[in-house]
Structure 1
Amino acid sequence: MQIRTLLRTLIPVAATLAAASAALANDPFPSKPVRIVVGFSPGGSNDIVARLLAPKLAEGLGQQVLVENKPGAGGNIAAQTLLSAPPDGHTLMMCTTGTVSIQPHLTKAPFNPETDLLPVTLIANAPYLLLVNASVPATNVKELIAYAKGHPGQLNFASSGNATGGHLAGEMFKSKAGVDIVHVPYKGTGQAMTDLLAGQVSIIFDQAVSSMPYAKSGKLRILGVASLQRLKGLPEVPTVSESGVPHFDPVTWTGLCASKGTPAAAIQRVQQEVAKVLATPEISQKFIAAGLEPVGSTPEQFRAFLAADKTKWGTVIKDAGVKAD
């Protein structure tokens, strides 16, 4: 009798729990505002991309899309924010070249990009521009290489810090062009750009979104685009590759990642909506004007891209003997 009584008590409870679980599983995504975590300060290229996407993505998802900056530790703080949130797709992260492809070769991060993160979509490629101070006696890449070879160790290049994408782009250029130029690391692109404009350093590899205004004003000179194809926003500027440095493609990128355990349906929905946003003329033109190449790949395509990208940067790091600070 006691067993029957206990069963009569437990069966309704179990049924209620099962119903609640089923309702939760069938709850359409998104059921609340979506948060995009950015691992860098406002105003940078990743922040700009996130804020360009957010309003239109919100329209497609039918929920608010909030951009939250969590700068510091090379993107690790943002990653920890993502991984501490429920894996339901309502918290996403702007994943970057540095955090996913470069950092694992240099330091032991508090997370594993390959197992803890799920690729959602590659949003855009952001090729570097090769820029020089206006006083440098070179108007194209070939002239720069010739001058550097004639004056070994006299030219230097700035970066936003040791082992950053800009630093590794310079190391790749040194190797492929066979030149001796000196790396000068700064504590951010702003400081590096200030000294480049003042002529304290000669060269920088920087993303177009932050450097094009200086080039348009004549304060800096663009010698080439560091990708295998010319930028749509700068069709007149040749690539470094076509200017005598074959296969020079230290392209950075910006994508969306979710945490492991996120339902495939949520990932697919976000990817589809992002692809729709990037296909709109309004957003596409804004990206192109900022020197970005909109992509919108599938999760599977993004996963394959990440594997190849990590290998590429790992080779540069090994060949140049780059070490973490």
Structure 2
Amino acid sequence: MKFKKTLFAGIAAIVGASTLLGSNIASAQKDWPTKPIALVVPFAAGGPTDTIARLIAVPMGQALGQTVVVENTAGAGGTIASTKVARAAPDGYTIYIHHMGMATAQALYDKLPYDPMNSFEYIGQVADVPMVLLGKKDLPANNFKELEAYIKANGSKVTMANAGPGAVSQLCGLLFQSRMGVRLTNIPYKGTGPALTDLLGGQVDLLCDQTTQTIPYIKDGRVKAFGTTTMKRLPAIPNVPTLNEQGLKGFEVKVWHGVYAPKGTPQPILDKINAALKKALSSPDVVKRLQDANIDIAPMAKVSAKGLKDHLESEINVWGPVIRKANIPD
């Protein structure tokens, strides 16, 4: 009898402790955040992803009532930062912004210490940076039809620059070659800066690059623009047709960005972060500054867990076969 009383008392104590713990967790979630939040960026300061992160960090912090601190963790194509976030405490104080590299990592690296689809909670898409297929100024072709004929006539003699293995410029170029059914001579650089410099100097023939840094050169005629990688023409360069309308049906490459959290982050906290992200992307100042940089804000329907998850899965299916077929690095 004494044993039963002791057992029941022990059970009661455990139940009581569990109830108290549950109450404390619920209270913590309700009061969240009570300290600054780290927004991890997988690249060095100054790049497009870092720029977007810093634009949304301030209004997100204002919406949450705490400072959102941008934390740059560069290296290994974003996999160092991704691993760091995947292993972080799921308490909402570490969140993550990454671009389409989240979708290409599995095909680029043999063994990842995280699973892009299952090691994170999804918060929402953020913004897309369009790209343009560019040619050097003195390339004989003046439009896409002429470029197609020039490539078919010259094959591997045509050179295509990129920013190195796994870079978006490389992936865009490889997808272009795959859709065209050709194999060009791919020349890797240590970044799009030097690749663009050599294109401007006429040392390489082609480059697929982001609009954030190429539109001024297109407008002043220092490079030829053969097509945008979007479904619709870009307002900043309305006279440049899309590759889709010129025959490469469905050709779309955007440097898209999404916000994530460690797996297991409580839903009430995720909901608060999502609401803050939506508020930031609706801020007139953020909208203007992103538009000025030729960056497209994601539709609000995609600034959601489902929108980001569905898009990531779709992009993995697009880029996996392209990367494996190309046998990157190249």
The normalised TM-score by structure 1 is: 0.89
Structure 1 gaps of 5+ residues are: none
* Contact 2:159–2:186, Cα closer than 8 Å, also in 1: yes
Matches within 5 A, 1:215-226: 215-226=218-229
Deviations for 1:256-296, whole angstroms, at most 9, x for unmatched residues? 11110111121122122212222233322322222221114
Give secondary structure in 1 for the equivalent of 2:166. coil
User: C-alpha displacement at 1:180, in angstroms?
Assistant: 4.2
Structure 1 residue 302 corresponds to structure 2 residue 305:
no
Once the two structures are superposed, what CA deviation does each residue of 1:143-197 show, in whole Å capped at 9, x if it has no partner?
2222222322222111111232221211221122344422111122222222222
> Is 2:314 aligned against 1:312?
no
- Between 1:19-28 and 1:221-230, the stretch displaced more is 19-28
CA apart distance, 1:34: 1.3
Contact 2:215–2:237 (CA under 8 A) maintained in structure 1 = no
Report the Cα offset of residue 25 of structure 1.
2.6
Name the structure 2 match of 1:288.
Answer: 291
Assess if the C-alpha contact under 8 Å between 1:50 and 1:67 holds in 2.
yes
Q: CA deviation at 1:10?
A: 11
1:89 aligns with 2:89: no
Q: 2:25 — aligned with what?
A: 24
- Name whichever of 12-21 and 2-11 sits farther off: 2-11
| Match of residue 36, structure 1, among 20, 35, 39 | 39
Partners of 1:11 and 1:114 lie apart in 2 by 40
C-alpha change, 1:189 and 1:215, in structure 2 (3 Å) is: same
Instruction: State yes or no: 1:323 paired with 2:328.
Output: yes
Contact 1:229 1:239 survives alignment (8 Å):
yes
Shift, 1:18, TM fit: 5.0
Local SS of the residue matching 2:155: coil
Counterpart of 1:124?
127
Q: Which residue of 2 aligns with 1:266?
A: 269
Instruction: Say which is worse superposed, 222-231 or 308-317, in terms of deviation.
Output: 222-231
Aligned counterparts of 2:219 and 2:273: Cα–Cα separation in 1: 36
Cα RMSD between the aligned structures? 2.6
Distance 2:234 2:23 in 1: 49
The SS at the match of 2:276 is: helix
Deviates more, 1:116-125 or 1:286-295: 286-295
Q: Which amino acid aligns with 1:101?
A: A
| Structure-2 change in CA distance of 1:181 and 1:5 (3 Å) | closer
Alpha carbons of structure 1 residues 210 and 42: separation in structure 2 relative to 1, 3 Å: farther
Which is further off, 79-88 or 29-38? 79-88
| Counterpart among 104, 107, 110 of residue 106 in structure 2 | 104
- Seen in structure 2, the aligned counterparts of structure 1 residues 55 and 234 have a Cα distance that, compared at 3 Å, is farther
Distance 2:120 2:14 in 1: 36
Q: What residue is the counterpart of 2:70 in the other structure?
A: 67
Deviates more, 1:255-264 or 1:265-274: 265-274
Matched letter for residue 270 of structure 1: I
2:117, 2:309 within 8 Å by CA — same for their partners in 1? no
Per the TM alignment, residue 8 of structure 1 is displaced from its structure 2 partner at its CA by: 9.3
Q: Any idea what SS the aligned residue of 2:245 has?
A: helix
Q: Distance in 1 between matches of 2:160 and 2:14?
A: 68
CA distance in 1, matches of 2:220, 2:130: 20
Match of residue 154 from structure 2: 151
Paired with 2:322 and 2:13, the residues of 1 have a C-alpha distance of 62
Q: Describe the superposition over 1:43-95 as per-residue Cα deviations: whole angstroms up to 9, x where unpaired.
A: 11111110111111111111101111111011111112213321111111112
> 3-state DSSP class of the match of 1:35?
strand
In the alignment, the residues of structure 2 paired with residue 95 and residue 142 of structure 1 have an alpha-carbon distance, to the nearest angstrom, of 35
CA-to-aligned-CA distance 1:98-123 (integer Å, 9 cap, x gap): 2x211101312121111111221110
Would you identify which runs of 4 or more consecutive aligned residues in structure 1 move more than 4 Å?
A: 2-18
Q: Deviation of residue 253 (structure 1)?
A: 0.8
Distance 1:125 1:172 in 2: 18
Give the secondary-structure state (helix, strand or coil) at the position aligned to 1:151.
helix
Task: Verify the 8 A CA contact 2:77 2:166 in the aligned structure 1.
Answer: no
TM-aligned CA deviation for residue 12 of structure 1? 8.4
1:203-218 to 2 correspondences below 5 Å: 203-218=206-221
Conserved in 2, the CA contact under 8 Å of 1:233 and 1:290?
no
- SS of 2:315's partner is helix
Where 1:26 maps in the other structure, the secondary structure is helix
Offset at residue 11 of structure 1 (A): 8.0
**TM-score when scaled to structure 2?**
0.88
